[in-house]
Structure 1
């Protein structure tokens, strides 16, 4: 799934969630934490209450969490749905989708920047200082996406780019 398809999908899920819970802060909190009879600050090794002991508010929160999980799974294609199938709550699904999306965006950004680096050339009406500033900005952007070139290679690349 392309990055834009995933972001469109996530945007649609957010709209559906917002429509279903607009103005209901308590339920949004329950859903966002994937509450199933637990507080938001429950420890990692929590024990879920038996369903018979759930309060009415906990039942409503669990039902809404199940609805949001269902909407999310139905909104995703098979590949993405399989990646989040093991998530137990809507919050876990959201975090997994957000992580996948961020990784895809970072990877795509890296590819674009590397291509720009490989095709870097000085512009005809550009001074050496401006060309160097543009090249340095490109190198800094590349380092932000964890792609760096050896200094000697970069210096040679810059010199070759000059007219």
Structure 2
């Protein structure tokens, strides 16, 4: 999929990539969701499918935090207070920890909610507010949202499908109990 260049394309990319990911998550056996069988977001680490969802929830919440702060004229610590861009592995670990007490189903519900919140936020934007000027350094607001929603959804879907393939199952043949 091409990089979105306007509001409608951004909304379509987020919806499409989220719905594809959600379809691939729908048949994951719950008993396998805490196995640390995926490569983690920091070199040399492993994560579970639940960790992957916690990671997506964490980044989506940051997008909302950034947008809300900027809308109120407040400064934003990108990517997050206490973290630098070269510490994203450490930030990923924080997201995994935040999701550790939640079930896979709860994490899916949280992702659905935060995704809906981002889409609602976008309804109040215009092409110009999303793509007409730099919002963070050289990146437009739309590009920053896309880089932290639609793109990670597509990456997560690829990881899930690879995980399923490694199990020797067709991507849609696993069924949750």
TM-score by length of 1: 0.30
Q: TM-score, normalized by length of structure 2?
A: 0.28
Higher relative contact order (CA 8 A, sep 6+): 2
Instruction: Report which of the two has the higher share of strand.
Output: 2
Higher helix fraction: Structure 1 or Structure 2?
Answer: 1
